[in-house]
Structure 1
Amino acid sequence: MNGSSALTLAGVLVLLTVVAVVIRPRGASTVDFYLAGQRVGVATNAWAICGDYFSAASFLGVAAAVYATGLDGAWYAVGFAAGFVPVLLFVAAPLRRFGEFSIPDFLGRRLGSEKVRLVAVGVVQVVILSYLVPQAVGSGITWELLVGSGLLGLSPYATGILVSTAVVAGLVAFGGMRGTTWTQAVQFLLLLGALVWLAATVVGEGFHYGDAVADLSRAPLENPAPDGGLTSEQNALHPEEPAIFGQPGARYGGLGQFALIVTLALGTAGLPHVMNRYFTSPTGAAARTTTVWVLCLAGIFYSLAVMLGTAAREIVPTAVDDHPWLADLTVDGVLQVPEHALPVLGRIYGGDAGLGVVAAGALIAVMSTIAGLLLAAAASWGHDVYERHINPRATQRQAVLAGRVTTLVTACAAAGLGLALRPETFATATASIVATMVTWAFAIAGSALTPVFLLTIWWRRTTAAAAVAGMATGMLVAVAMFTAGLFAAGGLLREALVTPTLVAAPLAAAVTVLVSLRTTAPADVEKSWLIMHGTAADRHAERLAQLVLDENRRRRAGRRARRARG
């Protein structure tokens, strides 16, 4: 349905990201493959984290959620951006000071337990797979709209999933963290550029956010019904009233709104592909400064996404008569797939080239996040399992090869699950299938990893047995709750079930504390505490004291040896 110019422009933008990988040097050591030699600067790392974090859920999903549910969709933007506040305050600097390859590596060394490491690997893989699948779905949706045709007899949706996943898996496997860092930094700048261009174009054509919200709020909010036509949304806060675009309640009640924000905010600190990036910073101070940059960029990015979701809701119905191709994508002027909101705006104002810019931005968002997730999977399997347990005597070349193989296997699993899902299956139950599925990953991370992670960093008494119990509790409760929520009829019960972190995270924290009080803390906890929380002067004094102790031990050993000889 689209001209070749859109595909050509998309290809050029994606090609730039490939070049960004090819021109970077790549080392053969695990430190270089997983951590880019721990020499990534503040600005570059901030851009790379944004490229990692601003996924299909951010670029397509937030605007889609706002388009479909109005103010309730904006809670996704609030939660995604707010997630870096606890990271800034509690995680970034101590995590980098302690230094390791991954979350499982950090927990295993801090608590002195290989069991903790292996359990954390399992949880991390569940989070990664939960996050990868919606990225695959987003790439399928984008390819379907941008290209409209498949390859080798495949559907456009399946082609988008397979092509994007295969390209990124290859780039990550051969480029490692160094190549991926520069790829993600370039991808973020292109992604932000696409969003800024679209926002400037819409505003230049006369769009005003405040006026649009007021206009859209004059009538009940309607969305496509499963059997055709439109159906009015009911207000979850006031069931006797219809939902309004500019008022809360179109999708979530009071409990659901609060639970969603908590789930997204807590989940960020447990996302392995984001937290692993802090190990690439040269110092703890650099990690903290990087987070400040990310918070500023997130505020800009999500503000634009919310504005453009609103713009699409106002502009698309009036554009149907002038753009006949919209008839295939809409029902009575409302998009059938909310994730089409930004690409459709791009085509309305820029033709096929405009569609190419926005759709390429969406593909870039997907590819960048997939790259970070695959690297996190490689680090947890390749370093934490293969090097530590399967082949402890592995050479650097063998260890890097294990990471590359893990990358390809994880990519295949994610693509397979993405192919098994179709957005239409969930269209009537969710504001945005991409944003909703990513929320599940945040729920598991925020329930199973973040409580244990924070306690391990900030409570000396945390033990290995407690960490295992806490992670298991958080993950099992979270998975059980949102699985039950998929079959719940609705109301407060369903809202609590589909955003389970509000219940699962406190349970995980309580279990961790209780078990810690009944078990023994690691013997070297004070040393770990000094590394994570001591000042530079403290750590310098500790090193000097250790040197003095070592020298005294050598002198005593020498005196004993002389007495034995005499």
Structure 2
Amino acid sequence: MITASLLLLAGLLVAVLVTGLVLRPRGASTFEFYLAGRRVGVVTNACAICGDYFSAASFLGVAAAVYASGLDGVWYATGFAAGFVPVLLFIAAPLRRFGEFSIPDFLGRRLASDRVRLVAVTVVQLVILSYLVPQAVGSGLTWELLVGEGILGLTPYATGVVVSTVAITALVVVGGMRGTTWTQAAQFLLLLAVFVWLAIVVTSSGFSYPGSVAELTDQPLTKPVQEDGQWRLGSEPNRLDGGEPAYFGHPGGRYGPLGQITLIITLIMGTAGLPHIMNRYFTSPTGTAARMTTVWVLGLAGLFYALAVLLGTAARALIPDAVAGRPWLEGITVDGVLRVPEHAPLVLGRIFGGEAGLAVVAIGALVAVLSTIAGLLLASAASWGHDVYERHINPGATQRQAVWAGRAAVMVVAVLSAGLALGLRPHSLTALFPSIVATMVTWAFALAGSALAPVFILAIWWRGTTARGAVAGMGVGALTAVGMLVAAPFVGSWGLGEVLLTPTIVAAPLAAAVTVLVSRRSDPPADLERLWLRLHGTAADRHAARLARLTIGVGRAGKRR
């Protein structure tokens, strides 16, 4: 089985690299490397965004959260899917019409400030790094279950981290946005096919979602805990009601009413500030295409997360009865409950498809990781290569030099994220959260939704936004979010701890308020009307403005003669 798994993995990695080589940019152009020439169609871009967005947190984490926490885990699926509603309504079309390379580039041009651009680059890199680490963790956990052995003296977990990081870094360095777009679109279709296959075989076995939820709710939720090196089954306390048991089909076992609201807001706002997702809208040919892309994404996201919730529930209902006679399953469960919730989809694949089924689902999990890492590394390359190197370090750089600066940034950020993932001990953290991967990704959403999204939306929709206001807002939002996350482990009250772990409900309004207050005390860009027309004007408006400028120019030339 190990040989077959390695062959499947090798085949996947070779296919990814070949695609990157075939579709790589034909010239050393930043326009091609970062934006794929702005020729990505609606459906292709929608699939690529889904491949970018449906990370380890989506493929493994949502099902794991539902498996571990029941109804409270569904909030992850709801928040991840609903995050594209504000993107559709407020961001996609004007962002594409303005037409830059990245979030920092957009803010720097919209507010006519290099300082804004550099502050945004700093925040973007923090978001990217905090998002990359859980992807690497997910790849390590998947390799651990699929292959179970390391290479070159590494542990299985470390091997998964290293292999996935090296492979996808090579794709991004070689293929740029064009190669990455097509591989991400294909990878999403593979992810969806794996979930559809798994849902079909699970329901064909007699599984009923409503019936299973009702049956699971009859008994309190339990979870494996480790004491003195021994595993046992402990209770899943309802932290809001002084230790009363939590139930699968009842809310409040993991998050109280306030915690549910703060989690949803964090995920929704965070989506609007994710650099690797927002950058994809710059690849659309028009603003209308960007909006239609988001409509497709919403539909695909709804389907994908519905399947993830179903599979998390199926794993909780079916795995206990499948343990008998399966020594491999006994070794990763405690009284029928998985020690690592992220293994839930993988175990279902092996139960219903044997070794081949496990390999198929594991390949899907690794594809989710690789696809998201690719998007994050490209966003990092755009920030460093375009916004820092081209704009400040070497303004006279050739296109070839700028592209290589972006490639160098990709490699540095990839090594740093892999190093952080290798330093983590995910197995020791699984008992603290419904899904360690989904929880860590939520922290990245919190930072993006607190520091970037409020300023981003204000810059698009409020004329009065200024450079000083944006810098102050991003700084306050980032510091507030990070400070609350750091303080969370030291707070005994779970009600307050919920807010600290999902701080966007506090940090985002604070960042917006600071942006507005400081902006009112400073001046907007001198050419605000032209910038506003780029954001919100129709094609006819922009054509009329160009004609007006030409007419004025001709008139002035005539007077001079």
For Structure 1 versus Structure 2, the TM-score category normalised by the shorter chain is over 0.9
In structure 2, what is the Cα distance between the partners aligned to 1:165 and 1:432?
Answer: 22
Kept in 2, the 8 Å contact 1:3–1:352? The answer is: no
What is the alpha-carbon distance in structure 2 between the residues aligned to residue 315 and residue 18 of structure 1? 38
TM-score by length of 1: 0.97
Q: Deviations over 1:289-328 (max 9, x none)?
A: 0000000000000000000000000111100003221111
Please point out which of 270, 273, 280 is paired with 2:273. Answer: 270
Say if 1:151 and 1:3 are closer, same or farther in 2 by CA, change over 3 A.
Answer: closer
Say if 1:9 and 1:353, in contact at 8 Å, map to a contact too: no
1:25, CA displacement in angstroms?
Answer: 4.2
Tell me the residue number matched to 2:38: 38
Whether the 8 Å CA contact 1:18–1:183 is kept in 2: the answer is no
- Which amino acid letter does the alignment assign opposite residue 86 of structure 1? P
**CA–CA distance in 2 between the matches of 1:261 and 1:513?**
24
Counterpart of 1:16 in structure 2 is: 15
* Structure 1 CA distance for aligned equivalents of residues 89 and 441 of structure 2: 24
Aligned with residue 303 of structure 2, among 300, 304, 318:
300
Question: Does the 8 Å CA contact 2:430/2:436 hold for their aligned counterparts?
Answer: yes
Deviates more, 1:132-141 or 1:421-430: 421-430
In structure 2, what is the equivalent of residue 562 of structure 1? none
Instruction: Trace 1:112-127 onto structure 2 (pairs within 5 A).
Output: 112-127=112-127
Give the counterpart letter for 1:248 in structure 2: P
Q: Which amino acid aligns with 1:310?
A: T
> Cα deviations across residues 500-550 of structure 1 (Å, max 9, x unaligned)?
000000000000000011111111111111111112211111111111111
Paired residue type of 2:10: G
Alpha-carbon shift at residue 3 of structure 1 (Å): 4.2
- Within 5 Å, give how 1:33-72 maps onto structure 2: 33-72=33-72
| Residues in 2 aligned to 1:17 and 1:401: alpha-carbon distance in whole angstroms | 21
Q: Secondary structure at the match of 1:279?
A: helix
Q: What is the CA-CA distance between 1:264 and the residue it aligns to?
A: 0.2
| 533, 549, 552: which one aligns with 2:552 | 549
Aligned equivalents of 2:246 and 2:300: distance in 1? 32
Query: Does the alignment pair 1:347 with 2:346?
Result: no
**What amino acid does structure 2 have at the position aligned with 1:190?**
L
SS state of the match for residue 231, structure 1? Answer: strand
Cα shift at 1:237:
4.4
Q: Hey, what's the Cα distance between the residues in 2 that align with 1:70 and 1:533?
A: 43
Structure 1 segments, 4+ long, off by >6 Å, are: none
How far did residue 241 of structure 1 move?
2.8
Q: Deviations over 1:393-417 (max 9, x none)?
A: 0000000000000000000000000
5+ unaligned residues in a row in structure 2: which ranges?
A: none
Partners in 2 of 1:322 and 1:315 — Cα distance? 14
Choose the corresponding residue for 1:417, options 417, 420, 425: 420
Q: Distance in 2 between matches of 1:557 and 1:328?
A: 88
- Which one-letter code corresponds to 2:553 in the other structure? D
Deviations 1:334-373 (A, max 9, x none): 0000000001110111111100000000000000000000
Q: Is the 8 A contact 1:462 1:516 kept in 2?
A: yes
What's the counterpart of residue 535 of structure 1? 538
Q: Is the 8 A contact 1:188 1:365 kept in 2?
A: yes
| Deviation (angstroms), 1:234 | 1.9
Equivalent in the alignment of 2:437: 434
Aligned 8 A contact 2:13 2:167 in 1: no
State whether residues 102 and 376 of structure 1, in contact with CA within 8 Å, keep that contact through their aligned partners in structure 2: yes
Q: Distance in 1 between matches of 2:461 and 2:83?
A: 18
Within-5 A mapping of 1:159-174: 159-174=159-174
| Equivalent residue, structure 2, for 1:136 | 136
Residues matched between the structures, number: 557
**Contact 2:16–2:171 (CA<8 Å) still a contact in 1?**
no
Instruction: Map Cα deviations across residues 92-121 of structure 1 (whole Å, 9 max, x no partner).
Output: 000000000000000000000000000000
Cα distance, 1:479 vs structure 2: 0.2
Correspondences of 1:281-320 after superposition (within 5 Å) = 281-320=284-323
Residues 241-252 of structure 1 aligned to structure 2 (within 5 Å): 241-252=244-255
Question: Could you say which residue in structure 2 is the equivalent of 1:222?
Answer: 222
Instruction: Provide the rounded CA distance (Å) in 1 between the counterparts of 2:232 and 2:189.
Output: 39
Bigger Cα displacement from structure 2, 357-366 vs 13-22: 13-22
Matched residue SS, 1:486? helix
**What letter matches 2:517 in structure 1?**
L
Q: TM-score, normalised by structure 2?
A: 0.98
